[in-house]
């Protein structure tokens, strides 16, 4: 069982088990046992943990945008990743249809979520590509808007990334 301790000059630390009396006796005078620290963004103030809003930066927003692009978009209940490799594969499939290299049975792929999807026309693939492009464009535009906010908010807040209804 982990146990937290705090000293006004040395700060916070935690142990993975109850320290012996000898170990506790070696702690500096003024050390108190405290509840475990809830997050890196909490500070021990007046006998309790207080949340301190971190200073988010533009890089954090950019990294969240990239994560959301890689995570992808739901299209007809199927998650399609929108990273460069996934888009490139779909573009290659479009070219395969254009060359006549794809038969009437189409091509079946497995998504990263393990779902089989069969494309039987170039238009089906193009519709997914268009949705992925729209998703990436929205995320990049929203990322720029968030980065321009003062102060920069927590990029992990899902409400920041809600796409307005058309």
- What tens digit of pLDDT does each residue of 38-86 get? 998 899 999 999 998 778 899 999 999 999 999 999 998 899 999 999 9
Task: Give residue for tokens 């999807």.
Answer: 117
Q: Give dist(CA 3, CA 8) in Å, integer.
A: 17
Q: How many domains is the chain partitioned into structurally?
A: 2
Residue 134 has pLDDT above 80, yes or no: yes
Quick one: what percent of the chain has pLDDT higher than 90?
86
Task: Give residue for tokens 């321009």.
Answer: 148
Question: 15 and 91 share a domain?
Answer: no
Residue 105 has pLDDT above 90, yes or no: yes
In this predicted structure, what is the pLDDT of residue 86? 92
Residue 140 C-alpha from the chain's centroid:
15
In this predicted structure, what is the pLDDT of residue 164? 85
In this predicted structure, what is the pLDDT of residue 166? 75
**What pTM was computed for the model?**
0.67
Cα four-point dihedral sign 134, 136, 139, 144 = negative
Question: 65 and 42 share a domain?
Answer: no
pLDDT tier, 34 (very low <50, low <70, confident <90, very high otherwise): very high
Residue range(s) defining the domain that contains residue 22: 3-51
Question: 47 and 67 share a domain?
Answer: no
Question: 24 and 95 share a domain?
Answer: no
Question: 47 and 27 share a domain?
Answer: yes
In this predicted structure, what is the pLDDT of residue 52? 87
pLDDT tier, 107 (very low <50, low <70, confident <90, very high otherwise): very high
Query: Residue 6 class from Cβ within 10 Å (0-12 exposed, 13-18 middle, 19+ buried)?
Result: buried
Question: 131 and 115 share a domain?
Answer: yes
Question: 90 and 119 share a domain?
Answer: yes
Question: 63 and 89 share a domain?
Answer: yes
Averaged pLDDT, 115-141: 96
Question: 32 and 99 share a domain?
Answer: no
- Enter the DSSP assignment of 64: H
166 domain residue, yes or no: no
85 domain residue, yes or no: yes
């Amino acid at each position: 069982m982990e146990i937290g301790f705090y000293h006004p000059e040395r700060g916070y630390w935690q142990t993975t088990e109850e320290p012996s009396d000898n170990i506790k006796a070696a702690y500096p005078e003024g050390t108190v046992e405290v509840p475990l620290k809830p997050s890196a963004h909490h500070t021990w103030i007046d006998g309790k943990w207080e949340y301190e809003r971190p200073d988010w930066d533009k890089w954090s927003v950019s990294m969240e945008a990239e994560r959301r692009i890689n995570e992808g978009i739901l299209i007809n209940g199927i998650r399609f990743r929108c990273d460069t490799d996934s888009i490139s594969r779909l573009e290659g499939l479009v070219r395969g249809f254009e060359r006549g290299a794809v038969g009437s049975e189409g091509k079946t792929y497995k998504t990263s979520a393990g779902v089989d999807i069969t494309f039987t026309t170039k238009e089906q693939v193009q519709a997914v590509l268009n949705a992925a492009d729209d998703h990436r464009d929205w995320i990049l535009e929203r990322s720029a808007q968030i980065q321009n906010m003062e102060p920069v908010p927590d990029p992990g807040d899902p409400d920041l990334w809600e796409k307005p209804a058309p």
